[in-house]
Structure 1
């Protein structure tokens, strides 16, 4: 595959969607086809799974991990791989690292078990770049309140859960420094965008 796969990760309220949009616009200005997508919910099947996962009733941890894996399998097979095969850049909000942090570090499941499920579902596809927007969970909660609307099932979890998720993300970044770009999410949007562009530009063909 000749395309470029970039994912954005981090706690709720970190600004992933804003940065994904800015990055996509920059790439499109340079003539690249960009596929903006997300997990869960990047396919027709995924939209329904997203409703169940984030706005449905109680879901056991194992069922939750398997539903995310089902969403991922469909998404990679029908959206991401086809885009990469035609030389597009995929800019995606959340991927396997979110499963490892939320279902692994945040829940009672083994991170390695979640990794095996996710790698099987994705057929071993990992991004070339993962941008981790790091934010204190308290600050993220304040941002969520300021934008209005009700919390989804994960956002409504206790602050201890979100702290564990944050530590899970940071540990993943520590283990994969070549793939991760960790940025303080309290920096200005322009500064964050500039740092993402510097790393992205190095991955594009000259």
Structure 2
């Protein structure tokens, strides 16, 4: 059986950069591996909805995310795990939970959805990750990185509300503290990918 390694963190925290480094190191070791960007990436409905998601209320966005995540599990994650691949997953369950909770704090609403994921996992519909890597980065560095990236609705939201970045970091810390195999990395500093791969392959 393979391993599901999930990278979590907000936009600009270095998940994609770290994913590329992990895939490179795993490939050097002849470990079968795949990078999976996850929901809203591979399915037709996911890609089309991603273009207009910001125009929809959060409840509808969440339903689409969960639906697309489920199809991603059955089409990508499950078969690769069965074939003994190490899957480097860019975001999974905690990202949507953290995002919804923080938006709810701003709106004064309860958008919590973790109970839904707990329910799915209790029935084996979504697997628990073998390891979760929390890509943490200081707010000022996040802003610097997002400023240099192509403009998007989500990037603009962070740049226009920098306090939201800190809110997300705090909520991520709270959410991920409960995850087995948690590895926290300060991606604004140098980190050793070789030792990181050693840990996730244990």
TM-score normalised by the chain length of structure 2: 0.84
> Unaligned 5+ residue runs, structure 1?
none
Residue of structure 2 equivalent to 1:124: 126
Pairwise mapping of residues 70-149 of structure 1 onto structure 2 (< 5 A)?
70-107=67-104, 108-111=109-112, 114-119=113-118, 120=120, 123-146=125-148, 148-149=149-150
Q: 1:181 aligns with which of 176, 180, 183?
A: 183
Residues 185-204 of structure 1 aligned to structure 2 (within 5 Å): 185-188=187-190, 191-202=191-202
Q: Which runs of 4 or more aligned residues in structure 1 lie more than 4 Å from their structure 2 counterparts after TM superposition?
A: none
How far 1:17 moved relative to its partner? Answer: 0.4
1:85 CA drift (Å) = 0.9
Q: Which residue of 1 aligns with 2:13?
A: 14
CA deviation profile, 1:69-103 (whole Å, cap 9, x unmatched):
01101111111111101111111111101011111
Any gaps of 5 or more consecutive residues in structure 2? none
Q: How does 1:63-74 map to 2 (within 5 A)?
A: 63-74=60-71
Question: 2 CA distance for matches of 1:153 and 1:140?
Answer: 13
Separation in structure 1 between the aligned mates of residue 177 and residue 43 of structure 2, nearest angstrom = 35
How many residues get paired? 192
d(CA) in 2 for partners of 1:175 and 1:20? Answer: 22
How many Å separate the matches in 2 of 1:118 and 1:42?
A: 20
SS of the residue 1:13 aligns to: coil
* CA distance 1:151–1:128, change in 2 (3 Å): same
- CA contact under 8 A between 1:131 and 1:196: conserved in structure 2? no
1:174-201 Cα distance to aligned partner (Å, 9 max, x none):
223x32111112112xx25245223223
Query: Taking structure 1 as reference, are residues 33 and 42 closer, same or farther at Cα in structure 2, changes over 3 Å only?
Result: farther
Alignment of 1:156-171 (within 5 A): 156-157=157-158, 158-171=161-174
